[in-house]
């Protein structure tokens, strides 16, 4: 038989693939319990869907072992992430949304099956490589670049850095950053670091001075821009 119909992944399956992809990138392995937690479903539900994804060749799964995406599954997931991030960027740069408003909309738009739509977005934006939160946009083949920024919590007093990405893009964190006028591209100079609680005092936008807790610093990914009194 030649014309066996290959069924498209449903919206539900796509959300599972994306969750597996994102969890694997953060933590390496993916347990059923993490997956279930991420998607806010029960463990039996996640367990059952993983079996379904295995049948369609998107992941490999053995009882009591962590779930592993196949190359096919990885590519499927990366292309959904691509649509998600292109959408977020389009909403911010072409439609005037704030970076804290776009994730929920993109969570729905990413499931639209219309490559022309996303290609046109891409073209209109001049082929951006990162989304509004600094995360890389996979290419059309599903390849994703590893930007490996450092966390601000690793920076030392005297260093100058540029805020390049976030490891948490929750609305609450984005609103916190808005309230401090912290946007991607902001140059930060590390004034001092408190040994007791690892909080950092930074100087940015030529005038402001701000104390950032360790919790916040861990979520801010930076490029080291210039260094004073540094061992390098």
Closest approach of its own copies to the CB of residue 134, in Å: 23
Q: How many residues bind its own copies (CB under 8 A)?
A: 18
Closest approach of its own copies to the CB of residue 71, in Å: 27
Answer with the entry of its own copies, Mn ion, DNA, none that 32 interacts with (C-beta below 5 to 8 A by kind). DNA
Closest approach of its own copies to the CB of residue 150, in Å: 35
Element at 204 (helix H, strand E) = strand 200-204
CA distance 209 to 148: 27
Report which of 161, 137, 141, 142 is spatially closest to residue 151, judged by C-alpha positions.
161
Q: Is there binding between residue 66 and DNA (CB under 7 A)?
A: yes
In the complex with DNA, the residue whose CB is nearer, 79 or 152, is 79
Please state, as a whole number, how many other Cβ atoms lie within 10 Å of the Cβ of residue 69.
21
Restricting to residues 2-31, name those near Mn ion by CB under 5 A: 15
Selected range binding Mn ion among 101-109, 120-128, 198-206, 211-219, rule: CB under 5 A: 101-109
Closest approach of its own copies to the CB of residue 108, in Å: 5
Count CA atoms closer than 13 A to 193's CA, side-chain side: 14
Q: Is there binding between residue 63 and its own copies (CB under 8 A)?
A: no
Count CA atoms closer than 13 A to 17's CA, side-chain side: 29
Sheet containing 208-212, strands listed edge to edge, beginning at the edge strand earlier in sequence: 150-151, 220-226, 160-166, 187-193, 200-204, 208-212
Answer with the entry of its own copies, Mn ion, DNA, none that 113 interacts with (C-beta below 5 to 8 A by kind). its own copies
8 Å CB contact between 133 and 165: yes
Among 8, 26, 27, 48, binds DNA (CB under 7 A): 48
CA distance 71 to 55: 14
Please state, as a whole number, how many other Cβ atoms lie within 10 Å of the Cβ of residue 71.
10
Selected range binding DNA among 62-70, 108-116, 139-147, 173-181, rule: CB under 7 A: 62-70
- Residues within the interface to its own copies (CB under 8 A): 91, 94-97, 101, 104-105, 108-109, 112-114, 116-117, 120-121, 124
| Interacting residues toward DNA by CB under 7 A | 7, 10-13, 31-34, 40-45, 47-50, 52, 63-64, 66
């Amino acid at each position: 038989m030649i014309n066996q119909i290959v069924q498209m992944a449903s919206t539900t399956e796509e959300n599972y693939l994306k969750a597996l992809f994102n969890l694997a990138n953060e933590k390496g392995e993916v347990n059923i319990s993490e997956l279930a937690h991420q998607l806010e479903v029960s463990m039996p539900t996640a367990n059952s869907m993983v079996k379904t994804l295995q049948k369609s060749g998107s992941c490999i799964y053995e009882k009591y072992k962590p779930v592993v995406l196949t190359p096919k599954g990885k590519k499927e997931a990366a292309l959904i992430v691509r649509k998600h991030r292109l959408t977020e960027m389009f909403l911010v740069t072409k439609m005037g949304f704030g970076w804290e408003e776009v994730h929920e909309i993109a969570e729905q738009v990413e499931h639209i099956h219309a490559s022309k739509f996303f290609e046109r977005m891409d073209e209109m934006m001049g082929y951006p490589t990162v989304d509004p939160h600094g995360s890389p946009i996979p290419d059309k083949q599903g390849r994703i670049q590893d930007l490996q920024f450092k966390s601000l919590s690793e920076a030392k007093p005297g260093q100058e850095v540029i805020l390049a990405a976030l490891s948490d893009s929750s609305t609450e964190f984005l609103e916190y950053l808005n309230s401090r006028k912290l946007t991607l591209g902001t140059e930060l100079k590390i004034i001092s670091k408190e040994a007791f609680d690892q909080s950092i005092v930074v100087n940015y936008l030529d005038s402001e001075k701000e104390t950032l807790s360790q919790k916040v610093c861990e979520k801010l990914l930076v490029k080291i821009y210039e260094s004073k009194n540094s061992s390098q």
